[in-house]
Amino acid sequence: MLSVELDHVSVRYGRQWALRDVSVTLPAGAVGLLGPNGAGKSTLLKSLLGFVRPDEGVMRVLGLDVAAAPLQIRSRIGYMPESDSHIPGMNAVTFVAYCGELSGLPRADAMQRAHEVLYYVGLGEARYRNVETYSTGMKQRIKLAQALVHDPDLLFLDEPTNGMDPRGRDEMLELVRDIAHNKGLNLILSSHLLPDVEQTCEHVVVLDQGRIATQGPIEALKGHATRIVEVRVKGDPDTFVSALRAAGVSTHADEEGVMRVFMPDDRDAQWLFQIASQHGLQVRHLRVSVPTLEDVFAAAIANGRGTGDPDQMTNQRDAGMSDADANRRHAGLPEQIANGRPAGLPDNGDVRADT
């Protein structure tokens, strides 16, 4: 079953567009939502949850219209937000159980599920600790636990590895893979980290400046990518890159200084040697390479902006909103409950015993 559909959706904050005429159908399975910071990824997820009202367009999630049935949709979705959203003064099992109750589970069932999912995400031994004492990695895990507690049909993960150390990041990605591929839960993973998406998802949507740059099955996008050539030069690599871009050829460099050049059909390896020679450079390494998701991403961003420069990434927040404006626009987000302890919550001591 199709999980998410957007039809000409636009969201504007003041004079800035966070999403601009987005139309896409996301299939069941694991889908990556990829883009630089400020591309509109979080705004898209919050719109699908009904927290942000689009200025234009229609959205459907799990076959339901977001505008007509937001509460019904949210009851079937697990949402792991990018920012911390725990409630001060609560231990982990109480917090996760309360999230289960908010999603419609009876209290006893919510408590049982809280214990189960906390063990699943690796917090079983720390489930009675106050969440405020948790490390960043542990807080990421409890956000995943509260998203899973009510056994949702669809999972939204917003930057799930944010702030985690390498070992914790690998463990989080393994959890996501297990959820998607072994548990069979549909999910959308939003990230600006290409390896996170490539390790966990089969389908990707690349967003840039509020628009879809490209989308489709990852392996198919790699197969249709432009010819890629790896090049290393002796001399100033920036001079070589500038010369290529002046000729309308996109390139980006990896951490080891190897340039990956997107070769047009009318250019060949000899042309690269000529460009290097014209600028007093020597080509020391050249080979045809297999396209990667990073290549797909860089080419999509460059083509969408028409710059030939995939390294130009924006770091602005969604459409440059201030935190105060974001909070007002995103009324109803889970983060808001962190401002105080909601009435009717059980005391920590009431749920000490395992169920």
Cβ-contact 89, 341 below 8 angstroms: yes
**Cα–Cα dist 261/276, whole Å:** 13
Interaxial angle between packed helices 92-102 and 107-120, expressed in degrees from 0 to 180 and rounded to the nearest 10: 130
Q: What is the pTM of this model?
A: 0.73
Is the distance from CB of 158 to CB of 81 less than 8 angstroms? yes
Question: What residues form DSSP beta bridges with 286?
Answer: 231
pLDDT digit string (tens) for the chain, length 355 residues = 557 999 999 999 998 999 999 999 999 999 999 988 888 999 999 999 999 999 999 999 999 999 999 999 999 999 999 988 888 899 999 999 999 999 999 999 999 999 999 999 999 999 999 999 999 999 999 999 999 999 999 999 999 999 999 999 999 999 999 999 999 999 999 998 888 999 999 999 999 989 998 899 988 887 665 678 889 888 888 888 888 888 888 787 776 778 888 887 788 888 999 989 999 988 888 888 777 777 777 777 766 654 444 444 333 333 334 333 443 343 333 333 333 344 444 444 343 333 3
Instruction: Give the pLDDT of residue 224.
Output: 60
Distance CA 107, CA 62 (A): 26
* CA separation for the pair 46, 333 (Å, rounded): 8
pLDDT at residue 227, as a whole number:
77
Asked if 119 and 83 touch (Cβ cutoff 8 Å), the reply is: no
